[in-house]
């Protein structure tokens, strides 16, 4: 971050969606680096608790309760951050939401909220901070996507649409900023991450949701984000599934999507029943949940390993069949 430090000598980092999961892990990682932090989430108490943890790590931290789907509120966050830190050096656009279920069974307002959060929210972030970057002639915008930016996930149609859109947003912004060598838009594509996000998300399947191994530690993603702040690059992929799925989708999108559908349908048949609920889609979770979601426990790994191997085999088979054709 040395190259991007503002006139105060301490880099100012804004992180949206910082009250749990990847956002909280990233806040703590930057705090250990001595950054000045502006942490944003909808839940005022939850984001203040994370800010206090970062203060305990020695970082000057400000908590702001704001919803990134509100463009005016995000613009105010950017101004407050610039006033707080004497500029903005890094903006981590991290908020994400999902609604799992058959497309026609998920309420349309849930689909709309996913797109509003994942895509419009990130656009609000970029629209708010880019004027500051342009005046400074420097800055790093970290655009959190996922492996869903490379291949659609059946039963998560709005999520897939939003992640494809984020990839387009990042590419378009890099094109517009080609004449600004010290302003960077960095897309990051982690595979499945162990956070409370899956348990907190909207679930219209009637089955408990989880993620197949290997599942990344959110702290590994946080370390990659800190590294991007120091050594920016356009695209960062994390986790072997991202590389495999990206390759399989490039070779045969239809076979890959069908394989993913088979994998999910197999999982839904086996998973325990649970209540249909909108989760934290429209309001903050009752309990923020911390960084970890419990998806890397031995029981979780053993229960899903067979499905994961099957999904990988189908993906590889899709590539092989396409090659023979």
Residues identified as active-site: 146, 159, 163
SS (H, E, C) 168-207: HHHHHHHHHCCCCCCEEEEEEEECCEECCHHHHCEECCCE
Comparing CA positions, the residue from 158, 79, 164, 75 lying closest to residue 124 is 75
Comparing CA positions, the residue from 182, 170, 183 lying closest to residue 143 is 170
Structure tokens at 316: 């590889």
Comparing CA positions, the residue from 229, 168, 287, 201 lying closest to residue 30 is 229
Q: How far apart are the first and last CA of the chain?
A: 48
Cα separation, 198 vs 180, whole angstroms: 37
CB 245 within 8 A of CB 150: yes
Comparing CA positions, the residue from 207, 106, 211 lying closest to residue 156 is 106
Structure tokens at 103: 């497309």
**201-205-208 Cα angle (round to 5):** 65
Q: CA distances (Å), 307 to each of 21, 23, 56, 147, 212, in order? A: 25, 29, 42, 18, 7
**Count of residues for the chain?**
325
Residue with tokens 């067979």: 306
3-state secondary structure of 1: coil
CB 59 within 8 A of CB 29: no
């Amino acid at each position: 971050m040395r190259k991007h430090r503002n006139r105060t000598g301490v880099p100012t980092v804004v992180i949206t969606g910082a009250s749990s999961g990847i956002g909280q892990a990233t806040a703590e990682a930057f705090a250990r680096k001595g950054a000045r932090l502006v942490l944003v989430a909808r839940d005022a108490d939850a984001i203040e608790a994370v800010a206090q943890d970062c203060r305990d790590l020695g970082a000057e931290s400000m908590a702001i309760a704001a919803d990134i789907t509100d463009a005016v509120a995000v613009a105010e966050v950017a101004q407050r951050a610039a006033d707080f830190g004497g500029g903005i050096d890094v903006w981590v656009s991290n908020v994400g939401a999902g609604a799992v279920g058959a497309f026609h069974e998920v309420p349309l307002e849930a689909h709309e909220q996913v797109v509003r959060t994942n895509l419009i929210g990130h656009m609000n972030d970029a629209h708010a901070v880019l004027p500051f970057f342009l005046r400074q002639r420097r800055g790093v915008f970290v655009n959190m996507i996922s492996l869903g930016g490379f291949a659609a996930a059946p039963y998560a149609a709005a999520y897939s649409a939003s992640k494809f859109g984020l990839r387009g947003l990042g590419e378009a912004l890099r094109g517009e900023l080609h004449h600004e060598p010290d302003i960077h838009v960095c897309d990051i594509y982690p595979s499945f991450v162990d956070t409370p996000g899956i348990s907190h998300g909207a679930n219209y399947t009637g089955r408990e949701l989880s993620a197949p191994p290997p599942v990344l530690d959110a702290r590994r993603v946080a370390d990659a984000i800190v590294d991007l702040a120091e050594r920016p690059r356009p695209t960062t992929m994390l986790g072997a599934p991202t590389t495999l799925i990206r390759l399989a989708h490039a070779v045969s999108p239809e076979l890959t999507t069908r394989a993913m559908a088979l994998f999910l349908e197999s999982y839904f048949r086996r998973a325990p029943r649970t209540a249909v609920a909108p989760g934290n889609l429209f309001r903050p979770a009752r309990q923020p949940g911390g960084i970890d979601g419990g998806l890397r426990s031995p029981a979780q790994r053993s229960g899903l390993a067979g499905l994961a191997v099957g999904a990988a085999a189908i993906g590889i088979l899709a590539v092989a069949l396409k090659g023979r054709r």
